[in-house]
């Protein structure tokens, strides 16, 4: 089957790594994945605007993409050439819902924005998917889209890492969950060592935020970060994410509040366990076990005395590495990209 993905790439944001892995495993499984877009000899992706030979079109929508695509997506041609039942929408950020606001995080500013986006998705396909096992709308199908790549696993018994804690990700709507981690660090700051945060918007609002009217979603507290001695590192391309995570003994896994509410998975859900680091989940215990298996329960940051969990992870790394090894086994079995692609083909043919 030849699948055409409609997805607009940002090399240091979004789900570029996921699309890369779909392209990689498709050939092994006797399929082909092409990404809609003009050919670029400098790109590692199979880019093409030829959709006539595609068996299905998969629209991958995130906040960075929606219907943006350079000079514009030729939506009429994409829809006109491919039957409706062979078009799929993957709504990665929960936009295909009523307007929701959770702890100052939201999927739409206004109800009218929700209605507009719902109409757009409904005009494309009847097969609307979200990366959650618990969609709010009855017509939405669970499909994680993001997956785990065993080939990206880094051995956990690396020499001493440069940092005690590393986080890779942008600041969008993530200051409050990051602050909870940092407040757990503060009483034991000297025991942690160096801390690095890699991504846009942590020490200053990104340049594009003001023109887009989204300065509020990147608000942080640079003075507090400086006070704790947090090192801010510019964003890195997706190929270097796991390598950067592996520089830290611990990597927090935090979600923006809306994503926690919707119980979504993201690319970071499955990238962090592949790195040579101990994931620290500031997430609901039930959700963590549902995705990662029972071994992950003891890697959750507790509500009470969270600093003790950090000290225990720093002091007993061998115990937590055993948990990580068990968790990786669970992810290989249940969340590989091969499994994801087979499920996607089944969705097309359903």
Q: Are residues 137 and 33 in the same domain?
A: yes
% the chain with pLDDT above 70: 89
Task: Tell me which long-range contacts 218-221 makes (C-beta under 8 A, separation of at least 24).
Answer: 218/170, 218/171, 218/172, 219/175, 220/171, 220/175, 220/178, 221/175, 221/179
Q: Are residues 89 and 38 in the same domain?
A: yes
Q: Are residues 167 and 143 in the same domain?
A: no
Digit-coded pLDDT (tens) for 159-194: 678 999 999 999 999 999 999 999 999 999 999 999
* Beta bridge partner(s), residue 195: 165, 230
What pLDDT is stored for residue 194 in this prediction?
97
Digit-coded pLDDT (tens) for 309-321: 999 999 999 999 9
Q: Are residues 141 and 174 in the same domain?
A: no
- pLDDT tier, 69 (very low <50, low <70, confident <90, very high otherwise): very low
Q: Are residues 289 and 227 in the same domain?
A: yes
Locate 119 and state its tokens. Answer: 């109409």
Closest CA to 60 of 39, 88, 23, 32: 88
Segment among 46-60, 187-201, 276-290 with least mean pLDDT: 46-60
What pLDDT is stored for residue 42 in this prediction?
56
Question: Token pair 């999927």 is at which residue?
Answer: 107
Give me the mean pLDDT over the 81-103 stretch.
93
Q: Are residues 28 and 71 in the same domain?
A: yes
Sign of CA dihedral 119, 124, 127, 130: negative
pLDDT score of 91 more than 80 = yes
- pLDDT tier, 209 (very low <50, low <70, confident <90, very high otherwise): confident
pLDDT score of 10 more than 80 = no
Count of structural domains, the chain:
2
What pLDDT is stored for residue 12 in this prediction?
45
Q: Are residues 86 and 193 in the same domain?
A: no
What pLDDT is stored for residue 64 in this prediction?
47
**Calpha distance 57→233 (Å, rounded):** 37
Locate 288 and state its tokens. Answer: 């963590």
Kindly list the strands in the beta sheet with 140-142, ordered across the sheet, starting from the edge strand earlier in the chain: 47-48, 32-36, 2-6, 56-61, 87-91, 127-130, 140-142
Question: Token pair 């498709």 is at which residue?
Answer: 26
Give me the mean pLDDT over the 59-75 stretch.
60
Any idea what the CATH number is for the domain that residue 100 is in? 3.40.50.2000
Q: Are residues 176 and 31 in the same domain?
A: no
Question: Token pair 């329960």 is at which residue?
Answer: 297
What pLDDT is stored for residue 81 in this prediction?
82
Q: Are residues 91 and 165 in the same domain?
A: no
Give me the mean pLDDT over the 109-124 stretch.
92
What pLDDT is stored for residue 70 in this prediction?
43
Q: Are residues 142 and 179 in the same domain?
A: no
pLDDT score of 291 more than 90 = yes
The gap from C-alpha 227 to its chain's centroid, in whole angstroms, comes to 29
pLDDT score of 71 more than 60 = no
The better pLDDT of the pair 127, 40 is held by: 127
Which structural domain, as residue segments, surrounds residue 319?
150-334
**Calpha distance 157→139 (Å, rounded):** 45
The better pLDDT of the pair 322, 34 is held by: 322
3-state DSSP of the chain: CEEEEECCCECCECCHHHHHHHHHHHHHCCCEEEEECCCCCCCCCCEECCCCCCCEEEEEECCCCCCCCCCCCCHHHHHHHCCHHHEEEEECCCCCCCCCEECCEECCCCHHHHHHHHHHHHHHCCEEEECECCCCCCCEEECCCCCECHHHCCCCCCCCCCEEEEEECCCCCCHHHHHHHHHHHHHHHHHHCCEEEECCCCCCCCCCHHHHCCHHHHCCCHHHHHHCCEEEECCCCHHHHHHHHCCEEEEEECCCHHHHHHCECCHHHHHHHHCCCEEEECCCHHHHHHHHCHHHHHHECCCCCHHHHHHHHHHCHHHHHHHHHHHHHHHHHHCEHHHHHHHHHHHHHC
What pLDDT is stored for residue 14 in this prediction?
56
Q: Are residues 191 and 122 in the same domain?
A: no
> End-to-end distance of the chain based on CA atoms, in angstroms?
14
| Mean pLDDT (the chain, rounded) | 89
pLDDT score of 17 more than 90 = no
Q: Are residues 125 and 227 in the same domain?
A: no
């Amino acid at each position: 089957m030849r699948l055409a993905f409609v997805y607009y790439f940002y090399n240091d944001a979004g789900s570029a790594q996921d699309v890369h892995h779909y392209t990689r495993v498709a050939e092994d499984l006797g399929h082909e994945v092409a990404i809609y877009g003009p050919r670029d000899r400098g790109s590692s992706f199979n880019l093409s605007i030829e959709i006539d030979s595609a068996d299905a079109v998969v629209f991958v929508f995130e906040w960075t993409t929606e219907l943006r695509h350079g000079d514009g997506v030729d939506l009429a041609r994409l829809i006109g050439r491919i039957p409706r039942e062979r078009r799929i929408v993957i709504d990665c950020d929960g936009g295909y819902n009523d307007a929701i606001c959770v702890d100052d995080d939201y999927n739409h500013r206004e109800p009218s924005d929700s209605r507009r986006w719902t109409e757009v998705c409904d005009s494309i396909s009847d097969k609307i998917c979200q990366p959650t096992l618990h969609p709010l709308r009855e017509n939405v199908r669970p499909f994680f889209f993001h997956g785990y790549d065993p080939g990206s696993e880094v051995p956990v018994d690396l020499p001493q890492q440069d940092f005690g804690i590393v986080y890779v990700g942008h600041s969008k709507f993530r200051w409050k969950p990051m602050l909870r981690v940092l407040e757990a660090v503060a009483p034991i700051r000297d025991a942690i060592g160096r801390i690095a945060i890699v991504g846009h918007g942590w020490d200053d609002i990104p340049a594009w935020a003001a023109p887009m009217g989204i300065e509020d979603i990147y608000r942080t507290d640079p003075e507090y970060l400086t006070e704790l001695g947090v090192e801010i590192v510019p964003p890195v391309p997706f190929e270097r994410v796991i390598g950067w995570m592996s520089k830290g003994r611990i990597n927090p896994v935090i979600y923006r509040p809306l994503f926690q509410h919707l119980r979504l998975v993201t690319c970071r859900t499955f990238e962090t366990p592949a790195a040579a680091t101990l994931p620290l989940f500031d997430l609901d215990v039930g959700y963590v076990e549902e995705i990662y298996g029972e071994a992950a329960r003891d890697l959750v940051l507790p509500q009470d005395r969270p600093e003790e969990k950090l000290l225990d992870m720093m002091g007993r790394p061998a115990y937590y590495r055993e948990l990580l090894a068990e968790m990786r086994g669970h992810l290989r079995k249940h969340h590989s990209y091969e499994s994801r692609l087979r499920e996607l083909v089944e969705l097309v043919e359903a």
